[in-house]
Chain A
Amino acid sequence: MTAVPLLEVKDLTVEFSTRRGIVQAVKEVNLTVPKGEIVGVVGESGSGKSVTSYAVMRILDRVGRIARGTITYTSLDLVGASEPEMRDLRGREMSMIFQNPRLALNPIRKVGKQLEDVLLQHAQADARDVTQKAIELLEQVRIARPEERYHAYPFELSGGMCQRIVIALALACKPQLLIADEPTTGLDVTTQKAVMDLVVDLVRARGMSAILITHDLGLAAAYCDKVVVMEKGRVVETATSIDIFRAPEAAYTRKLMRATPRPGITLHDLLPEETPAPAPIAPHRIGEPLLVVEDLVKEYKRQAPPARLATMFGKKVEPPPPFRAVDGISFTVNRGESVGLVGESGCGKSTTSTIVMRLIDASGGRITFDGEDIGALPARGFASHPMRKRIQMVFQDPTESLNPRYTVSRAIADPLLRMGGYKGGARLRDKVAELATMVGFPLDLLDRFPHQLSGGQKARVGIARAIALNPDLVILDEPTAALDVSVQAVVLNLLQHLKETLGMSYLFVSHDLHVVRLLCDRVIVMRQGRIVEEGTAEQVLEAPQADYTRELISAIPHPPV
């Protein structure tokens, strides 16, 4: 270790003045980033990991303030530095990559121009060579056809491509320190691997230091030299990546590690050690086919190229072939079975689940549910069809999918009132309480509104609502994607328990192969609207047949153990 670290944070305390008084988001955090090293900061939401990095960059919100502590960059005191001094450091000495790359770019400015802004600001280029330098930057982040992409707007680029632009912005002025705040959240696992490999390559090649902020312990361990684990604003453990995986010291680190889905474990292994094993339930039997999907096709019209003049003069213009989001897939879900539908964004897995839910109409194919051809029923009228209550759905974002004006009990009561024949009164109240108990939702919180609940509690409300009418099939659309790993562990166990007690079938849509393996009996891997592989969870994960499945599995970050 070099004598003087590049960045040293000592006893940092950050306060936010809120309506409920002053809240300490970061408490006495110590963090050292030596020259040339990559330090991971890991923690769940609310752990203060992002706030720490904003404090270092001095870009805290108006209500946030560094209360105590020092931040030293080489020999500069960043807490006492003036705003113009900081502005000169930002981008040139230290820069940042944010999560959600699409939102991190100015939506109405060409990406090349945005790069030029930064280059010109820090006098890295002048008017003559700035365009050339911006294109070189695009090349460095391995963007194909950089001259063309220079003129692109962020909305014309994919998420992974936008993140490369953000990386180019951050590295434009050759800073010494790069802070990456959840740089791959929301990206597909193969894109995540490409982006992380790129960042790490560039950082290592330039001898820079980096801080990688993430909720994913596996990702941090795979790419960092040292990992700092944070919980509720405090650092609970600092160790090298290898040590943290071999011998985690803090109880919180152990809990986090246990909760991370990984090969060779069962669902119950995700829960903290002291959790009692669930009462053994007779293993569910997989029965006759419940949902049969045959040759399902969903086509979307493509935007026609401007050929209006030709049509005006009576010429027949061939319309472009429609885009096939779902391209002739067939699968079966049996009674009491969980089937995982896995693939990256755009593979058609969500479209498939929405068609099965009869929210949109298919372009072709048959969907048979319990012997009845529900694919033939138009999506518009399906809400009032008696079949409707036998298929339910749990949505991806527990916050967005709850009506913000409904209390929890009203939200759970909604399907009962609409389709369950309940009219209100004590019977409804008892049923709501029963459902809340089943999903482990605290009864004294039933009168709260969604914004007063935690992510895990909201997820429980979404599940209670879905099982309210004793459905035969529940479609789970990435139900844990927005949750912290420890909450995800609990929710996954809850889903498994409910399935066993109620004998439902699950169609589990996810991008995370490890999670799918834990919950599902069978796995279907989709790519570009087609099924590339299908088999039992063990088969697909242990001995994948398709190249694409293998690529997916190898892209999951592996800890260095």
Chain B
Amino acid sequence: MLSSFLRRLATAIPSLIGVIIVTFLLTRVLPGDTAAYFAGPAATPEAIEEIRVKLGLDKSIPEQFVDYVGALVQGDLGSSLTTGQPVIQDIIDRLPASAELTLFGLFIAIAVAVPLGILAAVRQGSWIDHLCRIVATAGVSLPVFFTGLLLVYVFYYILGWAPAPLGRLDVFAFPPDPITGFLLIDCVLVGDWETLGSALAQLAVPSATLAIFALAPITRITRASMLSVLSSEFVRTARASGLSPFKVIVGYAFRNAMLPVITTLGMVFSFLLGANVLVEKVFAWPGIGSYAVEALIASDYAPVQGFVLAMAIMYVVLNLLIDLLYGVIDPRVRIEG
């Protein structure tokens, strides 16, 4: 088990190297001159040139790349010119906010979509099947920034149920000392229930926005996968042996139907990482997505590189987890290693 885990981990290294090269090159071909941007509109050509030398931008691209990789190996992602902080510090500060939002959104989506998909497959053609179809169609056809704004309009502006969409905590709450960086977990760890409530309230609408987006593919795949498993012969055997419907549907059918669902979860998670950027903008969420967008607009390439690298690592780790989960669920995957 451990050796297959390590081997699987090793296969991720080439893709990470690729990501490093591609992000480096991409940020270099971005339009805009970083040195000119930071020197300001009134700067003289000499001042711009001075900044250029200070940033190392006067060197050739291969030289810059060697410098970049050399720093990267030491854990130095460079400094952000807009915040003035090391990029690694910015990412450490902001990544938990994004991760909390994405994971919570995904969690809601799974909690709704999987039972909905199962029910739709079991009661094929019933009202719940039609509901499933409507939810799926709506989920894919509405862009996240639109659902986000719509939810803010309804729940904050009209109904007044949700707090103002301004970040992770309302202004009067005091955040607990960061332990994991995940507000919900930190609040539970220190037992600060009031802040927990505030954090949950702030999290509800943005994560629901992400969840609506993620619902559609998960529901559809769960339904389709369940339908094919339910018509398979071993389910018929289980029924013919008189097993209870719960055992047949959950114990026999769903466990077999889970593999495609898990594959989809991996993809949905990566979509969510992308959708996050817009949602964070709409809800003023102090996450890594909005940070990257601002850096991109400012031609501040170090944070952009850091962001893409962080996302790539997350994606690789996620895929690794999914592969491992495969092995846990399906014994046939295990032997192939």
Contact = CB atoms under 8 A, between A and B. Distances in A.
Interface of A: 57, 59, 62, 87-92, 95-96, 98, 100, 103-109, 117-118, 121-122, 153, 155, 166, 169-170, 172-173, 303, 306, 308
Given A88-B242, A108-B255, A118-B242, 7 more contacts: A87-B244, A98-B237, A98-B240, A104-B236, A106-B256, A107-B332, A108-B331
B5 to A, nearest CB: 13
Nearest to A303: B335
A153 B255 CA distance: 15
B241 A91 contact: yes
A89 B240 CA distance: 9
A525 B94 CA distance: 72
Nearest to A172: B241
Interface string B289-304: 0000000000000000
Contact of B240 (A88, A91, A106, A107): A91
Contacts of B112: none
Contact of B242 (A105, A121, A166, A306): A121
Nearest to A110: B331
A308 B337 CA distance: 13
Nearest to A117: B243
A59 B240 contact: yes
Contacts of A98: 233, 236-237, 240
A308 B335 CA distance: 15
16 contacts: A87-B242, A87-B244, A95-B240, A98-B236, A100-B233, A103-B234, A104-B234, A106-B256, A107-B332, A108-B329, A108-B330, A109-B255, A117-B238, A118-B241, A153-B331, A155-B332
B256 A108 contact: yes
Contacts of B241: 90-91, 95, 117-118, 121, 169-170, 172
Interface string B309-337: 00000000000000000000111100100
B36 to A, nearest CB: 54
Contacts of B238: 106, 117
B124 interface: yes
B85 interface: no
A155 B237 CA distance: 17
Interface string B246-289: 01000110011000000000000000000000000000000000
A558 to B, nearest CB: 30
Given A103-B232, A108-B332, A121 B243 contact: yes
A59 B239 contact: yes
Contacts of B252: 106, 109
Nearest to A100: B233
B321 to A, nearest CB: 19
A95 B242 CA distance: 9
Contact of A107 (B234, B242, B244, B245): B234
B3 interface: yes
Interface string B209-246: 00000000000000000000000111011111111110
A59 B245 CA distance: 13
A384 B36 CA distance: 63
Contacts, number: 82
B64 to A, nearest CB: 38
Contacts of B256: 106-108
Contacts of A121: 241-244, 247
B255 to A, nearest CB: 6
Nearest to A89: B242
A153 B332 contact: yes
Residue among A59, A107, A169, A306 having the largest count of chain B Cβ atoms under 10 Å: A107
Contacts of A108: 255-256, 329-332
Residue among B3, B124, B234, B331 having the largest count of chain A Cβ atoms under 10 Å: B234
Nearest to B330: A108
Residue among B238, B242, B251, B255 having the largest count of chain A Cβ atoms under 10 Å: B242
Contacts of A105: 234, 237
A106 B329 CA distance: 12
Contacts of A153: 331-332
A338 to B, nearest CB: 37
Contacts of B255: 108-109
Interface in B108-139: 124
Contact of B233 (A103, A117, A303, A308): A103
Nearest to B336: A303
Q: Which 7 A-B pairs give the minimum distances between C-beta atoms?
A: A91-B242, A90-B242, A91-B241, A103-B233, A96-B240, A104-B237, A118-B241
A169 B233 CA distance: 14
Contacts of A62: 124
Contacts of A91: 240-243
A66 B331 CA distance: 39
Contacts of B247: 117, 121
A306 B234 CA distance: 33
A170 to B, nearest CB: 7
A57 B237 CA distance: 11
A104 B335 CA distance: 22
Contact of B239 (A88, A90, A166, A169): A90
Contacts of A104: 233-234, 236-237
A44 B273 CA distance: 56
Contacts of B124: 62
Nearest to B251: A117
Nearest to B241: A91
Nearest to B240: A96
A103 B234 CA distance: 6
A438 B285 CA distance: 75
Contact of B237 (A87, A122, A169): A169
A19 to B, nearest CB: 14
A87 B245 CA distance: 9
Nearest to A115: B241
A166 B236 CA distance: 12
Given A108-B331, A306-B3, A166 B237 contact: yes
Contact of A106 (B234, B244, B332): B234
Contacts of A303: 335
A92 B237 CA distance: 14
Contacts of B233: 98, 100, 103-104
A368 B83 CA distance: 77
Interface string B20-62: 0000000000000000000000000000000000000000000
Contacts of A155: 331-332
Contacts of B330: 107-108
Nearest to A53: B240
Contacts of A96: 237, 240
Contacts of A107: 234, 256, 330, 332
Nearest to A62: B124
B234 A118 contact: no
A108 B241 CA distance: 18
A108 B238 CA distance: 14
A378 B32 CA distance: 57
B235 to A, nearest CB: 8
